[in-house]
Amino acid sequence: MQRNLILLGAPGAGKGTQAQRLAARWGIPQISTGDMLREARRQGTELGKKAQAYMDGGQLVPDEVVIGLVEERLGRPDAKDGAIFDGFPRTTPQAEALDGLLARMGRDPVKVVAIEVPEAELTLRLGGRRSCPKDNAPYHVTFNPPKVSGKCDRCGGELILRPDDRPEAIKTRFVEYQAKTAPLTDYYGRRGTLRTVDGTGELESILERITVALEGAAHG
């Protein structure tokens, strides 16, 4: 059975954290356009350079850039049994492009889970977030600290504060989210494929809520 799942949610809702867990559990890749863009920047590719200013300011990068990345990634063999999309789609044109892509590739349609967290908590989460630039493992100074302060549990690398987790960029990300990404709940809701879960509390409980929600979600 193929599993194609989209995790929707505002910045800081826990999409990346839960996508990593689900990907490990199901043995399918997490497709995070944010991680892919950061990797392109590290490698200094043209695409990475193009994305840089948008990302650091907290704005969305142009649709065609991320759609191209996803198309290439979905075609790789490890995604044949499905994928967990985290941070994609973020606009209606991206959602339409993904529908078209899955249909063209003869793949099962997506299920969609929206993770809901109150904005005050999102702000707290993003401000304290630390990330490993090597393996993208997410941490939080208070809610999910690494075993050794400032170091990644998996690779021992230095954790960083992402430029877009600074207060000014966080504000822009919320504005972008409300204007461009929040309408996707209607897009998927209309098809009956959307389930919503409470994204507060223990990480394990949230993971279970997502799994339970998926049992009841129709393919859209």
Q: What are phi and psi of 29, to 5 degrees?
A: -75, 155
199 forms part of the interface with ligand AMP (CB under 6 A) = no
CB of 106 to ligand AMP, least distance (A): 23
Report d(CA 15, CA 177) in Å as an integer: 14
Catalytic-labelled residue, pool 3, 107, 162, 191: 162
30-32 and 111-116: which strand pairing? Answer: unpaired
Q: How far apart, in Å, are the Cα atoms of 182 and each of 46, 63, 175, 179?
A: 30, 16, 10, 7
User: Closest residue (Cβ) to ligand AMP?
Assistant: 34
Contact residue for ligand AMP among 37, 83, 122, 184 (CB under 6 A): 37
Helix, strand, coil percentages in the chain from 3-state DSSP, rounded to 5: 50, 15, 35
Binders of ligand AMP among 76-115, rule CB under 6 A? 87-88, 90, 94
Nearer to ligand AMP, 110 or 164 (CB): 164
Nearer to ligand AMP, 67 or 194 (CB): 67
152 forms part of the interface with ligand AMP (CB under 6 A) = no
Active-site residue flag, 195: no
Active-site residue flag, 162: yes
Other CB atoms within 10 A of residue 29 CB? 18
Please tell me what DSSP assigns to residue 218. Answer: P
55 forms part of the interface with ligand AMP (CB under 6 A) = yes
Residue located via tokens 């630390």? 130
Q: Which range, of 54-62, 142-150, 193-201, 205-213, touches ligand AMP by CB under 6 A?
A: 54-62
26 forms part of the interface with ligand AMP (CB under 6 A) = no
Active-site residue flag, 129: yes
34 forms part of the interface with ligand AMP (CB under 6 A) = yes
31 exposed, middle or buried (CB, 10 Å; 0-12, 13-18, 19+)? buried
Using alpha carbons only, how large is the chain's radius of gyration in Å? 16
74 forms part of the interface with ligand AMP (CB under 6 A) = no
Q: Binding residues for ligand AMP, per CB under 6 A? A: 11, 33-34, 37, 54-55, 58-61, 66, 87-88, 90, 94, 164, 173
Q: Which residues does the annotation mark as catalytic?
A: 15, 90, 129, 162, 173
